[in-house]
Amino acid sequence: MNKIDLSGFKAAMGQYLRYVRGKKIEDASQKDLFNAVSSVVRMLLIDITMETEDRYTKADAKRMHYLSIEFLPGRLLSNNLLNLGIEKECRDILKTMNIDLDDLLNEEHDPALGNGGLGRLAACYLDSLATLDMPGFGYGINYDYGLFKQTIMAGEQRENPDFWPNRSSPWLLARSDVRCMVPVYGRIQGTEDREGEYNPMWVDWKLILGRVHDIPIAGFGGRTVNRLRLFSAWASEDFDMQVFNEGDYFRAVEEKIQFESISKILYPSDSMAAGRELRLVQEYFLVACSVQDIIRIYLKDHEGFDQFPDKVAIQLNDTHPALTVAELMRVLVDVHGLEWDPAWKITTKTLGYTNHTLLPEALETWPVSILKRVIPRHLQIIYEINRRFIELVKQRFPNNTRLVKSMSIIREGGEQRILMANLAIIGSHSVNGVARIHSELVKNNLVPDFYRLWPERFNNKTNGVTPRRWILSANPGLSGLITEAIGDGWISDLDQLKRLEPLVHDSVFLERFAQVKRANKIDLAEIIGETTYVEVDPDSIFDIHAKRIHEYKRQFLNVLNIVHTYLKIKEDKQIPGAPRTFIFAGKAAPGYVNAKLTIRLIHGVADVINNDPEVSPWIRVVFIPDYRVSLAEALIPGADVSEQISCAGMEASGTGNMKFAMNGALTVGTLDGATVEIAERVGLENLYIFGLKVDEIAAMRKHYNPRDYIENNPDLMRVMNVIRSDLFCKKDPGIFKRLHDAVVDFGDYYFNMADFSAYVETQNQVVTDYCNKKQWAERSILNTARTGYFSSDRAIREYADDIWKIKPFP
């Protein structure tokens, strides 16, 4: 750890308050103090950024650019202090000024520039790149409104705007020296030159400006600071003037507003393609700004494009930035005058594509008509890419029209559409999934024909999460205990957690480990009390299901078991072996009716159970509103049980599953996503795997009848009848019938009925096992000790070695 000199810290804070805020330190509010501390930390970060940049430039390092429509960095002050190694010193300095650092940390607004796993993964990867001293940079959009704030009114989700203070955030450095120009709309004019060659010209386009802000990303150890570059849209002044001079003042202003709305708001949908023109423009805006910036940086130190793929790697985080394929070709061919073939070689050698979902409704397709209007030249380029590709397919597999149809970028039949996954695969040298089972499904189920054509392109990179945020910062009790036991090497080498294994036989360590968990549960109980007004017992089992609300994630199945337990107590007078608290958190996409109803159902069930004196000593149910990174940091360390119960084959990886296990929760899960690999590593005796497997579901799907399961299981029948009744919705009779019917009448697409009895049995086993406190603590320690593999450092090393070919520059 580099030693950073903090002797001027106090003085710098005072100067900031005086000369930026115009305040004396004694008049400063908590927010002022937060900004003052952050602005001093930001100065330290800028120094290291410059030093880092010099190091990369001197070495002529190959750089990786991670393009993502979402980044979910979480609060940055505490993370920066920890990664710079100045948290304790800073805390002590503030104490001499009678300031409590923790109060200031809570002043920070979570930058909610993402929906969930995809954006949070991107943030973990930036943390690891910087920690590993690797030249890797994020590229995203500086939304004014991040993901909505969720509040609950009478059990219902309400969405409130999240205007995050991006204009005043201490972490956003305005780079007014860099600007991107993005042409959009217009039409293609074909001309023929003297040799009769066709020369398409994109004319009458309008210009959007991309303004640039950087968030510095500090690696652990304080050696390297990379950046996350965010673009916001700005209507070009020249253009305004032109329309203005034409005399239509109002139109000028309207168009300005329209263009600037491009970076206004994040689409609040996870696992569902948005399909709206504004979203396509956002995707294009991100891609065009990024490509321009990447080429500008490359051309500073290089001439020509021969070296481009040796100096630049670009990773597409899902298909949202897939237009990079066409944009890079356009810039190389139209702007820099390269021939098609060398340009194509450069493009495919530079790009890599990560797939994050198999859900059909999440796979992006765009109508050709929209592309034609918004980016006509790109559409032309996509047609040409496709023409050449189809030729290649016909050569390799003559007379196979089925193949041509399945692999074409353009889907015919009805409205012509562009298949973004096909575009991304054809334009990249690497295609990866995000967990082993998921990568197999990508190859064998999603795009088997591409796999047959290019088996060498496909690979797996199991996701990882950063231990800096998810253990060190989120769980100081556990971090301290681990460091005391094995030193602090684990923070940047998570495999060292293995050294905790022998300590399961050390009764003192076991006791202290259990005490840490209990202390975290007391803290969490307090948060639950404050946010839900429900009192919960820290000695009950804390069973947590926290993630987006989606039918495939099966919060509904969890509720079925809760209702079953309720009925067992109420009607059968069977008392469980230990008290349990069922904790839910998560947002539903605003237009997703069944997900929003599920939130209502959880509240309805909670209301009945928590207010029933016969039942509430044994089970309580809470829904903590507004799940976000900072709430996850508070929830995860307090979990005994982690719910990872998606329908097998649906969850690409999951990353919450890793965070819970690292923090000592035992997983109740299906063999889906990365939970498969967690099970292998922690050992089947240290978690609870249940339910149908991917191949079983595939085999059953055709003939599956959920009613068979209901009719043959009186417990399930009873539960489903109660769900359909008005017990949980006395004030709004009938509202939960829709959820009931989705499984009973509409085929139960996610196999809730088929997995019900295995789930109930598993949950009962959890209760029994929890009563053996010592054994539970041993298994909990083994979860922490054996999940080092799921560090994002490991994942980034794999990406760096196999795909990006980038190296550390310490």
Does 677 contact ligand NTF by CB under 6 A? Answer: no
Number of residues that bind ligand NTF (CB under 6 A): 18
How is residue 505 annotated by DSSP? G
Among 318, 364, 633, 748, binds ligand NTF (CB under 6 A): 318
Collapsing DSSP states into helix, strand and coil, what is residue 731?
coil
Does 270 contact ligand NTF by CB under 6 A? Answer: yes
CB of 652 to ligand NTF, least distance (A): 4
Interacting stretch for ligand NTF, rule CB under 6 A, among 278-286, 294-302, 558-566, 650-658?
A: 650-658
Among 121, 225, 608, 760, binds ligand NTF (CB under 6 A): 121
CB of 634 to ligand NTF, least distance (A): 21
- Binding to ligand NTF, residues 718-757 (CB under 6 A): none
Report the residue number, 32 or 364, with the smaller CB distance to ligand NTF: 364
Report the residue number, 71 or 344, with the smaller CB distance to ligand NTF: 71
State how far the alpha carbon of 525 is from the alpha carbons of 80, 85, 425, 558, 745, in Å. Answer: 28, 30, 47, 21, 39
Catalytic residue among 42, 223, 356, 461: 356
CB of 118 to ligand NTF, least distance (A): 4
As a whole number of Å, the end-to-end CA separation of the chain is: 12
Report the residue number, 90 or 421, with the smaller CB distance to ligand NTF: 421
Q: Are strands 430-433 and 458-460 parallel, antiparallel or unpaired?
A: parallel
φ, ψ for residue 63, nearest 5 deg: -115, 145
Report the residue number, 298 or 552, with the smaller CB distance to ligand NTF: 552
Q: Is 581 a catalytic residue?
A: no
Does 271 contact ligand NTF by CB under 6 A? Answer: yes
Beta strand spans in 84-224 (E):
136-141, 149-153, 156-160, 173-184, 187-192, 198-203, 206-218
Q: Please give the full DSSP string across 157-189, using - where no structure is assigned.
A: EEEE--B--TTT-TT-EEEEEEEEEEEES-EEE
Q: How many Å apart are CA 235 and CA 11, to the nearest integer? A: 41
Q: Is 655 a catalytic residue?
A: yes
Among 327, 626, 651, 677, binds ligand NTF (CB under 6 A): 651
Among 42, 63, 75, 356, binds ligand NTF (CB under 6 A): 356
Among 78, 653, 752, 780, binds ligand NTF (CB under 6 A): 653
Q: What is the CA radius of gyration of the chain?
A: 27
Q: Is 548 a catalytic residue?
A: yes
- In which element (H, E) is residue 643 found? strand 641-644
C-beta separation of 209 from 186 below 8 A: no
Q: How many Å apart are CA 643 and CA 581, to the nearest integer? A: 13
Report the residue number, 121 or 230, with the smaller CB distance to ligand NTF: 121
CB of 655 to ligand NTF, least distance (A): 5
CB of 491 to ligand NTF, least distance (A): 23
Q: Please give the full DSSP string across 220-242, using - where no structure is assigned.
A: TTSS-EEEEEEEEEEE-HHHHHH
Interacting stretch for ligand NTF, rule CB under 6 A, among 78-86, 231-239, 356-364, 713-721?
A: 356-364
Q: Is 553 a catalytic residue?
A: yes
CB atoms within 10 A of CB 315: 26
Report the residue number, 430 or 540, with the smaller CB distance to ligand NTF: 430
- Binding to ligand NTF, residues 463-502 (CB under 6 A): 463
Report the residue number, 270 or 755, with the smaller CB distance to ligand NTF: 270
Catalytic residue among 211, 517, 659, 779: 659
CB of 380 to ligand NTF, least distance (A): 28
- Please give the structure tokens belonging to residue 674: 């990365």
φ, ψ for residue 231, nearest 5 deg: -105, 140
Does 673 contact ligand NTF by CB under 6 A? Answer: yes
CB of 742 to ligand NTF, least distance (A): 20
- Please give the structure tokens belonging to residue 191: 């001309």
CB of 798 to ligand NTF, least distance (A): 14
Collapsing DSSP states into helix, strand and coil, what is residue 432?
strand
Among 93, 118, 491, 796, binds ligand NTF (CB under 6 A): 118
Report the residue number, 554 or 568, with the smaller CB distance to ligand NTF: 554
Q: How many Å apart are CA 389 and CA 254, to the nearest integer? A: 41
C-beta separation of 778 from 514 below 8 A: no
**Region of 651 on the Ramachandran plot (φ > 0 left; ψ -120 to 50 alpha; else beta):** beta
Q: Is 550 a catalytic residue?
A: no
Among 73, 74, 111, 117, binds ligand NTF (CB under 6 A): 117
Among 263, 655, 667, 752, binds ligand NTF (CB under 6 A): 655
Interacting stretch for ligand NTF, rule CB under 6 A, among 241-249, 400-408, 414-422, 652-660?
A: 652-660
Does 130 contact ligand NTF by CB under 6 A? Answer: no
Catalytic residue among 256, 443, 517, 547: 547
C-beta separation of 687 from 666 below 8 A: yes
- Please give the structure tokens belonging to residue 790: 């799921």
Catalytic residue among 75, 461, 512, 548: 548
Q: How many Å apart are CA 683 and CA 113, to the nearest integer? A: 36
Collapsing DSSP states into helix, strand and coil, what is residue 429?
coil
CB atoms within 10 A of CB 23: 16
C-beta separation of 114 from 164 below 8 A: no
Interacting stretch for ligand NTF, rule CB under 6 A, among 58-66, 117-125, 675-683, 793-801?
A: 117-125
Q: How many Å apart are CA 644 and CA 622, to the nearest integer? A: 18
Q: Is 42 a catalytic residue?
A: no
CB of 555 to ligand NTF, least distance (A): 15
Interacting stretch for ligand NTF, rule CB under 6 A, among 398-406, 589-597, 619-627, 647-655?
A: 647-655
- In which element (H, E) is residue 440 found? helix 436-441
- Cite the active site residues: 356, 547-548, 553, 655, 659
Residue ranges in contact with ligand NTF by CB under 6 A: 116-118, 121, 270-271, 318, 356-357, 362, 434, 463, 651-655, 673
